[in-house]
Amino acid sequence: MIKFSDVTKSFGSINALDKISFEVKSGEFVFLTGPSGAGKTTILKMILREMLPDSGEVLFDDVDIVKLADKEVPRLRQQMGIVFQDFKVLPERTVSENVEVALAVSSVPDNEWDSRVRHVLKLVGLDKRANLFPSQLSGGELQRVSLARALVINPKLILADEPTGNLDWKTAEGIMDLLEKINKEGKTIIMATHHEGIIKHGKHRIINLDDGCIIKN
Amino acid sequence: MSIHTKTAIEAIKRSPFQAISAIFVLSLTFFVATMVAILVYSSGKALSYFETRPQIISFLKDDATPEAVTSLENKLSGDMRIKDLKYVSKEEALEIYKKATSDNPLLAELVSPSIFPASLEFSVTDLKLAETIISEVKSEAIVEQVGFTANIGGEKSLSDVVSRLKTASLYLRLGGIVFVSVLAITSFLVLLVIISMRMTTRKGEVEILSLIGATPSFVRSPIILEAVIYSLVGVLTGWTFAIIFWLYASPSIIGYFGQIPVIPKDPLTFFLLFFIILAIELVAGLTISLVGSLIAVGRSLKKIR
């Protein structure tokens, strides 16, 4: 599903990624680990095509997303669900509206919204909080909103950038349980984290990065 | 209601003062535009009234034979410089007199058709030719006297009246265009500022939407819709105030100008004229809002990305 071939990216004299190559198959759950500045987020940004490599190939379903025209980028992103460390929920919209936005962006017909939103909110345990605003939710609940928004479009791939970074251990464990459950349903998940406990939580493939190089895969 | 309409309405509700300023400026612009449009219409109508009414009357001698009158009539109608030629008999002249003095019937009773001369009334294709044609007609044997029909404001000839009206109309048009343009530019800039401010406050939202796969048109739609709502409300408010003014003022204006059709007397034509103006203003309003918001959104999106 995802293939990096000799991907290099530098910011001035700093090598964010140095000729890295790896492949993620459909249905896999992969942890990108390593200290801050190792290149985890850079990899996720490249998959999202938020950032372009200096050299190398990034394939998503055999399509080189580096060569993708700008107007094709939204379509690429609509096939992915993204969960951010800082949640990135829309503060002026309710929980259900935050989830609906993802459906609107992906041009899902309006008549499907209600059932899909209800289903996904039930899945993440927020069905009773559907009409609350983000300011009325806890950190764990906000991350569940972010997860619900990622899941509602039924994406091929879920990218999670330190999704438990701002959460206490118990809440983080809850989020991890959810991600495990989603992975078991066949979704591919790539999750960047440096949280040892989280990595040990599930026995999944680990790509360990340091200084822009893969040191263990 | 679509998600874009909902977002646009929520944005308006969240910043009511921005919305009020945008609508106020647009209303003022389109109120003035409607007023200027009507004034331009009125000046054009007044000008056309004076240009098309018979400008020269040649009064015929009482002893002019019908043959001589027909001969002169044929001669004048064959002249390319002359248009709208009309023979007015003594009886018709009396009728005109009776109409003019209808408020005092005694005056009409005291006169008989014999005291009114028959006449040939006509207009000239170009007022510059008037003096020459008058002197030519004066030299005709059956013509007693030649005169102008209009003598408004002490002008010596109709050409003065028309030329004065033309100048006034030109200044009105130029002044109107300049004034409306200045207001339109102000509206455009106000919209540009408000939409840019909206984009700045929505920067975070735009970034999130972009990351989850929103197309540029998805991001733009609610903002453009907001600008379109401002312009539609602005156009309708400005136009409504203008039509109320003209509806209120039209009886006095029609009474003051009398025969001169400065504004349509027929309600159907009156409303048709206003609806044509409304249609043009809606197109102009939409253009201002679309261009303004597209520029503002384009610039802001460039900065955000």
**Inter-chain residue contact B213 with A104, CB threshold 8 Å:** no
Is there a domain that residue A194 lies in?
A: no
Name the minimum distance, in Å, from the CA of B285 to any CA of chain A: 29
A108-154, pLDDT tens digit by residue? 998 999 999 999 899 888 889 999 999 999 988 998 899 899 989 98
The CA distance from B52 to B121, in Å, is: 12
Number of neighbouring beta carbons within 10 Å of residue A128: 10
Kindly identify which residue of chain A lies nearest to residue B206, measuring between CA atoms. A90
Q: Least CB-CB distance to A74: which of B14, B205, B213?
A: B213
Residues of B with CB under 8 A from a CB of A: 3, 10, 14, 205, 207-216, 218
pLDDT band at B152 (very low <50, low <70, confident <90, very high): very low
pLDDT digits (tens, 9 = 90+) for B232-251: 999 999 999 999 999 999 88
The reply to whether the predicted model has a pTM over 0.90 is no
Q: Is the pLDDT score of A178 beyond 90?
A: no
* Tens-place pLDDT, residues A83-103: 988 889 999 899 999 999 999
- Report whether A73 contacts A21 (CB < 8 A): no
Burial status of residue B5 (CB atoms within 10 A of its CB: 0-12, 13-18, 19 or more): middle
DSSP secondary structure, B193-227, as one string: HHHHHHHHHTHHHHHHHHHTT--HHHHHHHHHHHH
Report the pLDDT value the prediction gives residue B162, as an integer from 0 to 100.
67
Residue B161: the pLDDT is 67
Is A82 close to B205, i.e. CB distance below 8 A? no
Q: Is the dihedral of CA B46, B48, B49, B51 positive or negative?
A: positive
Is A92 in contact with B212 (Cβ distance < 8 A)?
A: no
Examine the predicted complex and report whether its ipTM is higher than 0.85: yes
Give the rounded percent of residues in chain B with a pLDDT score beyond 70.
91
68-97 of A, contacting B, C-beta below 8 A = 71, 74-80, 82, 88-90, 92
Residue A194 CB neighbour total at 10 angstroms: 17
Can you tell me the mean pLDDT for B23-43? 91
Domain that holds residue A116: 91-154
pLDDT tops 50 at residue B155: no
For residue range B246-275, what is the model confidence (pLDDT) as tens digits?
999 988 988 888 878 888 888 999 999 999
pLDDT in tens, B195-224: 888 888 888 888 899 999 999 889 889 989
Contact check, Cβ <8 Å, A50/B211: yes
- Count Cα atoms within 13 angstroms, Cβ side, for A57: 10
- How far apart CA B265 and CA B251 sit, in angstroms, is 9
Quick one: pLDDT at residue B305?
58
Report the gap between the CA of B211 and the closest CA in chain A (Å): 7
* Disruptive mutation site among A68, A88, A111 for chain B (greatest number of B CBs within 10 Å): A88
Contacts of A50 in chain B (CB under 8 A): 211
Least Cα distance to B184 among B32, B12, B16 occurs for: B32
Report helix angle B267-304 to B16-52, nearest 10: 140
CB contacts < 8 A (A, B): 44
Average pLDDT of span A42-63 = 93
Q: Which of residues 175-214 of A touch B (CB under 8 A)?
A: none
Distance CA A35, CA A21 (A): 19
Q: Is the pLDDT of residue B158 over 60?
A: no
Residue A28, amino acid: E
To test the contact with chain B by mutation, choose from A65, A75, A85, A101 the residue with the greatest count of B C-beta atoms within 10 A, namely A101
| B52-108 pLDDT, tens digit each | 666 788 899 888 888 999 999 999 989 988 888 889 988 888 888 787 777 777 777
Of all residues in chain A, the one with the smallest CA distance to B202 is: A90
CA distance A75 to B305: 17
- The answer to whether residue A63 is domain-embedded is no
Supply the pLDDT for residue B274.
Answer: 95
Q: Which residue intervals of chain B bear CATH 3.30.70.3040?
A: 54-149
When divided into structural domains, chain A yields a total of 1
Out of A37-46, A178-187, A188-197, B41-50, least confident range: B41-50
Number of residues assigned to chain A: 217
> Which residues partner with B143 through β-bridges?
B60
Cα–Cα distances (Å) from B55 to A181, B80, B118, B159, in that order, read 95, 16, 16, 9
Asked if pLDDT for residue B153 goes beyond 70, the answer is no
Whether A92 sits inside 8 A of B213 (CB atoms) is: no
Residue percentage of chain B with pLDDT more than 90: 24
Q: Average per-residue pLDDT in chain B?
A: 84
A159 pLDDT band (50/70/90 cuts)?
A: very high
Do A92 and B214 count as a contact with CB atoms less than 8 A apart? no
Please answer yes or no on whether A77 and B3 come within 8 Å at the CB atom.
Answer: no
CATH number corresponding to B54-149: 3.30.70.3040
* Pairing state between β A29-33 and A205-210: parallel
